[in-house]
Chain A
Amino acid sequence: MSANATTRAEGSAAASAVASGRKTSFFTVYVNDSVFGLEVKEAQAIFRVGSITPIPLMQKEVAGFINLRGKVVVAVSLRRRLGAPPAEGNGESVAIGLEKGGEPFALLVDRVGDVLTLPDSARTDIPPHCDELQARYTRDLYVLESGLIPILDVQRLFDFS
C-alpha cells in the first residue's frame, strides 16, 4: 500500500509543481477521530503492528519496541502524545516508519488514509489559541475545502529531551 501511495503522490506532486506553484504531498493519518497530515517524503514505511514490547518506567508516550523486519524500533503513540484516551479495539494498529537524527522510530496511528497533494498557498501557521499539545506536535496547517488539516512535526514527536 505504501509503495503505491508514494508513487502516486510523487507523480502528482511533480506534475502539479510544473503547473502552478509548489505542492507538497501528505499522508492523512487518523487518530482518535482526528485527522493529521504527514509529509510523504518523511515516511519510510507503513506497516501493520504486530506485538509491541512495553518499556516499564519509560514515559507513557513511548509505546514500546517493535520488531520491524529484524530491526528493533521505538514506537511512539500519537494518541498519547496528544493526550488522547488509550486506544480500543483496532486502534493504533498501523505504524509509520520515520527517522529522527538517524535513529528509526515508528509512529502508532489508528489508520492511514489517502494522500493529499496540497499547494503551498493553502499553508498557514498554527493559530495561537490552538490546543497546546496539538500545537506542540504540529508545524503548520493546510486549508482544505472540507476544513483544516494540521501537519505533524516529526522531529518534535520524537523529541524526548
Chain B
Amino acid sequence: MDELLADFLSESREHIEGIESYLVSFEKNPHDSDAVTQIFRLVHTIKGTTGFLGLTRLQTISHACETLIDTLRSGAPPTAEAVSLLLLGMDRIKYMIAKVGELEQEPEGDDRDIIAPIEAYLQGGQEEPAKAEVSEPAPEAAARPKTKQRPAKAKRAKEQQPAASEPAKQEPSLSAEPSEAASAVQMAKEPQPAQPLEAETKGKEAEQTAGKDKTPDTIRISVLAIQRIMDLVSELVLTRNQILELSRQYNLAQVKAPLERLSTVTSDLQDAVMRARMQPMSRLFASIPRLVRELSVSLNKKYNLILEGADTELDRQLIEAIRDPLMHLIRNCADHGIETPEERLANGKPEAGEIMIAAYYESGQVHLEIADDGRGLDVDRIREKAVERGLGSREAIARMTDEEVYRFILMPGFSTAAQVTNVSGRGVGMDVVISSLSSIGGTIALQSTKGKGSKFILQIPLTLAIAPALVVKAAGQQFAIPQQCVNEAVGVDEESHTLQIVENALVLKLRDEIIPVAELAAILGLPAAEAYNDKLVVILGLRGKKFGIVVDDVVGIQEIVVQPLGRLFSGLKVYSGNTILGDGSVILILDPAGLADVMSVELASEAIHQQSREEAHITAMASNLILFKAGSGAPKVVPRSAVLRIVRPKASAIYQADQLYLYRCQDRLVPVLPVDDVNRDTDTCLILIITLHDKTFGLWVDEVLDIVETSGEIQLASETPSIVGTMDLRGTAVEFIDTGYYFGLAYQASQNVTEAPHANLLLVGSDPGMQDMLSPVLTSAGHKVTAAETAEQANKLLQQANFGVIVLDAKSRNSLDETVLSRQPDALRLVLSDGQKAGREPGHEGDVLINQFDRRGLLDTIAAHLEALSARVPEAANVNVAPLEKDVSFG
C-alpha cells in the first residue's frame, strides 16, 4: 500500500476515536469551546488529507461534517439532531476508511443519504451563527476570546472567497482554519494560484495562537522497531553483566567507576524503552462515551458518565487486551446495575444513574474501577440461583461469605437477570471477562451493597513485557513463575508443613488448609525425586484458588522480559513464554493457569466444600489412562474416565465373603476384585473404585504408577478374558484391563454374549484402527457387521437396509443424514468417545455415548438394547419406547 495512504488510514482511525468522545462531551456541555475546536480540527485534517489523496467520497462527507461543525463552532446550539447527524457522518467516514484500507481505493457509491440531511439541517439553521455570536453573552471569559476571534477570521476569509477560482469553493474554510497548518493542507493549496497572500500570513499568525495547543510532538514508530530496540537493550544488559563479572574476577579497580555508570545508563535505557511502549488510558476511554450514549438510547435509561485517570499509562498491548472486558462490564453496569429512571426516582436517587470509570496506579499495577450507583447485587438471589444450579448444597452456600457468593456471577452461564435483554443478561460474558483478564495476568474483584451499587475492580499489570518472576529449579532445570501468582514458598518438613497422599492426590497441609500440590518435575514429565524432604512447595494463587508445585529449590526473584512462545508451542499450556536471564541462558516461564489445568484444580468452581472434600474425585493429572501395578505381571492400565476415585482403606476395612471381597464405604458394601495375584498381605490396600452400568465395584491393585495421556493403539486378540489387549506405552507393553470382565465377576451378571440376540450392525468410522479393533469383537459376538468408512457410505447403506445397531465415531456422527436416521427409530446409535470426552459432549438426542476402549460395555449395551427390543415386540408395535435412559459413558 502507498505509504501516504497507510499513514492517513492509521491517523484517521485515531482521529475518529478522539472525535467521538469530544462529540458526546460537547453535546453535554455546548459551551465547551475546547471540544468544538478539537472536533473541528480533526475533521478538517481528514478532509484536507483526503482531498490531497484524491479520495473524493471521503472528502465530500468530511466536508459536510466540517461545515456542520463550523456552524456549531460559530455558536449554533448543538441540538441532538446535529450531534446525531454528525455521528452518522462519522460512521460513514469510519466505514469508508475501513473500506479504503481493504481496497486501497474508495468503494463505489453515493453519500447523498448522509450529506442531504446535513445540508437540509444547515439550511434551516443558517442564520443562526451570526445571531448567536452577537446575542450571546460571555459567561466564560477565558474561553471566549479564542472562539470569537476565529469566526471573525472565517468571515473575512469568506468575503475573499468569491474572488477565488471555482475549485477553491470546495474548501471555503481552508484558509479560515487557523490552528491547522498541516503540510498536506498547504500542499493542497498549491494548485490555486488565486490564493491571496494574506491567507498565508494569517496561517502563520494562527500558528502562533495555536502555540498553546496541547498536542505533543510525536513521531510514529512501528511496534516492531520498538521490539527490536527492546531486544537490543536486553542484549546490552547481558553484555554489561558479563563485563561486570570479568571486572570482579580480575579486580579491575580502574574500570569500576565507568562500569557503574554503564550499569545505570543501561537500566535507564531499558526503562525508557519500556516507557515508549506505554500509552495513556484515554485511548481506551475515548470510545466509552459513545457506548454509554447508545446504551442510554437503547435501554431508555439515563446515565451520568464519569471518567477518571485518562492519563494513566499502560502497555499498548494491554490496552487492547482489556478493551473488550471493559466494554462488557460497562454494558453490564448500564443494563443490570442501573435501575430505570422511575425506579431510581422512587428510591430517592437522582434520575440519571452514575457510571464511574477510574484508572489509577497502585502497588505496581494499574487498577481500573467500574462502579455504578445502581441496585447492587442481590446476594440472596445469587445464593438461590447457585443452589438451583447445583453449585453446592443449600447449607454450604448459606455458609459462604458474601464475597464468595459474588464470585458465582463470574462463572460461565450464571446470570441472575430476570430478563434477558439484547444488551446483556444471557449469562455469557463474565467468564469471558475473566479469561481475557487472566490471560494478561490481571484479576478482578467485586464489591457491592444492595441498593447502593456495585463496583468491579480490575487489576492489570503495568506491562506484559517486564515482570518480576520467581526462578525455581526442578530436575536440574530452571523455570520462572510470574511473581504475581506466587503466594509463598514453604519448605516441606515433618511437622507443620507435611506432604501427604490423600486419595492418591498429593496435598500439603499448610496451617489449617489442605492445598492440592503436584511435583513440577512430574507435571513436566521429568524424572521425579523419591523423597519430598528438603523440597520446597511454591504456593500459587489464581482466581481465589490455591495450589502448590513441589520444586527442588528456589533460585531467586528476577525481572524478566517475557517473550511469548511461537505457534509451535501452542499445545503446551504449562508455559506462557520464555526469557533470557542475566547470564544469557534461556529459561521457560510457567503459566500458572496451565499448571492448574494440568493438575485439574477447578478454578472456576468454588463449590468444593467440606462434604465434597471427602468425596472428592481424585485430583490428578487429566489424562486417558491410569497406569498401575497389580501382581507380578506387566503394568496395567484402565481408562481414567472409568475410575470414580482411588481409595486406600486399612486392610481391616475389607471383608471376605464367599469368593468376593467387600469394602465398606459409607454404609455401602462395594465388591472388590483383586487384579491378578495382587499382594493381599498389606496393612492398607489400594483400590480403584470403578463405576460401570450404574454400579460400583473396586479393583484391588498394588500401586498406582502414573496417569498417562496416550493415543496408543490396543493390540487386540488377547487370550486372557480379564484384559482387552495390550498396548505400547513409552516402549513398555502394558495390559489394558477389561472393566466389563470384572463387572461380570462382581455382579455375577456377566451375560453370555453369544446367546444374546444378534443384530444387523453398521459400523461407521474413518479411522481404520477403530474398524480393525471393533469389527472382530462385534463379529465374534455374533453380530452381522457392515462397515462404512465415510458418512456418505453410511447414509447410502442406511437407505438400503435396516440396521438394529449403528456404531460410529463422534466425527461421523455429525455428518449422518438425520432424515435417513429418523426412518430407523429403533436403531441403537452408539457413539464412540475417546474416554476423555465421554459425557462431556452434549451429543444428539437418543444417542448412547460409549468409551471406545470399553469393549465389554459396548457388547453389553448392544445386548441390552436387543433384549429390550425383543421384549417390546409382542406389545403394541407403535408404542414409542423411550431411548435408553442411561448414557453408558464413564466420565
Binding site for B on A (CB under 8 A): 50-51, 53-58, 62, 64-67, 69-72, 74, 103, 160
Given contacts A51-B585, A53-B586, A65-B586, contact A74 B568 (CB under 8 A): yes
Contact of A74 with B566 at beta-carbon distance under 8 Å, contacts A53-B586, A56-B526, A65-B586 already known? yes
Given pairs A67-B586, A72-B578, 4 additional interface contacts (CB within 8 A): A53-B586, A56-B477, A65-B586, A66-B586
Q: Are A70's CB and B586's CB within 8 A? A: no
Give, as a whole number of angstroms, the nearest-CB distance from A86 to chain B. Answer: 15
Pick from B227-235, B253-261, B294-302 the stretch touching chain A.
B227-235
Residue on A with the closest CB to B521? A56
Are A70 and B231 also in contact (CB < 8 A) when A54-B477, A56-B477, A160-B568 are? Answer: yes
- The answer on a CB contact under 8 Å between B235 and A70 is yes
* 10 contacts across the A-B interface (CB closer than 8 A): A50-B584, A53-B588, A55-B572, A56-B477, A65-B578, A67-B585, A69-B235, A70-B235, A70-B238, A74-B568
B572 touches A70 (CB 8 A): no
Residues of A within 8 A of B572 (CB): 55, 57-58
A66 to B524, CA, bound (A): 20
- Cα distance A65–B376 in the bound complex, in angstroms: 51
Contact of A70 among B234, B525, B569, B585 (CB under 8 A): B234
The smallest beta-carbon distance between B398 and chain A, in angstroms, is 43
The complex places the Cα of A82 from the Cα of B19 at a distance, in Å, of: 60
Q: Is B356 an interface residue (CB 8 A)?
A: no
Q: How far is it, in angstroms, between the C-alpha of A50 and the C-alpha of B235 when the chains are bound?
A: 16
Whole-angstrom distance between the alpha carbons of A71 and B572 in the complex? Answer: 21
Instruction: Compute how far the CA of A147 lies from the CA of B563 in the bound complex, rounded to whole angstroms.
Output: 45
Task: Answer yes or no: B409 CB below 8 A from chain A CBs.
Answer: no
Instruction: List chain A residues, Cβ under 8 A from B477.
Output: 53-54, 56
- A156 smallest CB distance to B (angstroms): 14
Number of interface residues of B (CB under 8 A): 25
Query: How close is A20's CB to chain B, nearest CB, in angstroms?
Result: 42
Q: Are A72 and B586 in contact (CB under 8 A)?
A: yes
Which of A53, A66, A70, A74 sits near B232, CB closer than 8 Å? Answer: A70
B444 part of interface (Cβ distance < 8 Å): no
CB distance from A16 to the nearest CB of B (A): 38
Assess whether B580 is interfacial by the CB under 8 Å rule. yes
**Is B569 touching A55 in the complex (CB atoms < 8 A)?**
yes
Q: Is B574 an interface residue (CB 8 A)?
A: yes
Alpha-carbon separation in the docked complex, A64 to B477 (Å)? 12
The distance from the CB of A102 to the nearest CB of chain B, in whole angstroms, is 10
A56 with B525: CB separation less than 8 A: yes
Given A54-B477, A74-B566, A67:B588 Cβ within 8 A:
no
Interchain CB contact under 8 A, A57 and B580: no
Residue B587 interfacial (CB < 8 Å): yes
| B residues apposed to A, CB below 8 Å | 231-232, 234-235, 238, 477, 524-526, 563, 566-569, 572, 574-575, 578-580, 584-588
A74 CA to B238 CA, complexed, in Å: 20
Instruction: Compute how far the CA of A101 lies from the CA of B667 in the bound complex, rounded to whole angstroms.
Output: 63
Docked complex Cα distance between A57 and B567 (Å): 15
B524 in contact with A56 (CB, 8 Å): yes
Determine the chain A residues whose CB is within 8 A of the CB of B235 once the complex forms. 69-70
In the complex, chain A residues whose CB is within 8 Å of the CB of B586: 53, 64-67, 72
User: Which residues on B sit within 8 Å (CB–CB) of A51?
Assistant: 585
How many Å lie between the Cα of A51 and that of B232 in the bound state? 20
B568, B575, B587 — most chain A CB neighbours (10 Å)? B568
Partner of B574, one of A53, A57, A69: A57
CB distance from A28 to the nearest CB of B (A): 28
State the Cβ distance, A49 to closest chain B Cβ, in Å.
12
Instruction: Tell me whether A71 and B578 are in contact in the complex, defined as CB-CB below 8 angstroms, given that A57-B524, A57-B525 are known contacts.
Output: no
Nearest-CB residue, chain A, relative to B479: A56
CB distance from A29 to the nearest CB of B (A): 22
A160 to B851: give the CA distance in the assembly, Å: 29
Query: Which are the 10 A-B pairs with shortest beta-carbon distances?
Result: A70-B235, A56-B524, A65-B586, A53-B586, A67-B586, A70-B231, A72-B586, A72-B578, A56-B526, A67-B580
Q: How many angstroms from the CA of A70 to the CA of B233 in the assembled complex? A: 9
Q: Which B residues are in CB contact (< 8 Å) with A62?
A: 568
CA distance A69 to B239 in the complex (A): 10
Docked pose: A67 CA to B572 CA in angstroms: 20
> For A70, what are the chain B residues with a Cβ–Cβ distance below 8 Å?
231-232, 234-235, 238, 580
| A-chain residues with CB within 8 Å of residue B569 when the two chains form the complex | 55, 58
| Alpha-carbon distance A131/B566, docked complex (angstroms) | 31
Q: How far is the CB of B471 from chain A (nearest CB, A)?
A: 13
Contact B588 A55 (CB under 8 A): yes
CA distance A103 to B570 in the complex (A): 14
Residues of B within 8 A of A103 (CB): 566-568
CB B609 to nearest CB in A, in angstroms, measures 33
In whole angstroms, what is the CA distance A19 to B234 when docked? Answer: 48
Q: Give the complex CA separation of A57 and B477 in angstroms.
A: 13
Q: Which residues of A contact B568 (CB under 8 A)?
A: 62, 74, 103, 160
A81 CB to nearest B CB, Å: 14
> Which residues on the B side are within 8 Å of A69 (C-beta)?
235
Report the minimum CB–CB distance from B230 to chain A (whole Å): 10
What chain B residues lie within 8 Å of A74 (beta carbons)? 566, 568
Chain B residues within 8 Å of A53, by CB: 477, 578, 585-588
Write out the residue numbers on chain A whose beta carbons fall within 8 Å of the beta carbon of B238.
70
**Which residues of chain A come closer than 8 Å to B585, judged between CB atoms?**
51, 53, 67
Closest Cβ of chain A to B270, distance in Å, is 13
Q: Chain B residues with Cβ under 8 A from A54's Cβ?
A: 477
Contacts of B234 in A (CB 8 A): 70
Give Cα A51–Cα B234 distance, bound, in whole angstroms: 18
Contact in complex: A72, B580 (CB < 8 Å)? yes
Q: Which chain A residues lie closer than 8 Å to B588 at the CB level? A: 53, 55, 65
A81–B637 Cα distance when bound, in Å, is 30
Query: Which residue of chain B is the closest to A50 with respect to CB atoms?
Result: B584
Please indicate the chain A residues that have their CB under 8 angstroms from the CB of B584 in the complex: 50, 67
Q: Report the Cα distance A68→B596, complex, angstroms.
A: 32
B115 to chain A, nearest CB (A): 44
Q: Chain B nearest CB: distance from A33 CB in Å?
A: 25
Hey, which chain B residues are within 8 Å of A55, CB to CB? 569, 572, 575, 588
Measured between beta carbons, the chain B residues less than 8 angstroms from A65 are: 578, 586, 588
Q: Tell me the complex Cα distance, A105–B578, Å.
A: 15
Among B525, B578, B579, residue most surrounded by chain A Cβ atoms (within 10 Å)? B578
Contacts of B579 in A (CB 8 A): 72
Closest chain B CB from A21 CB (angstroms): 38
Taking the closest CB of chain B, its distance from the CB of A138, in whole angstroms, is: 22
- A138 CA to B526 CA in the complex, in Å? 32
Interface centre among A70, A71, A74, A160 (most CB of B within 10 A): A70
Closest to B584 in A: A67
CA distance A55 to B571 in the complex (A): 12
Nearest CB of B to A87, in Å: 19
CA of A36 to CA of B580, assembled, Å: 32
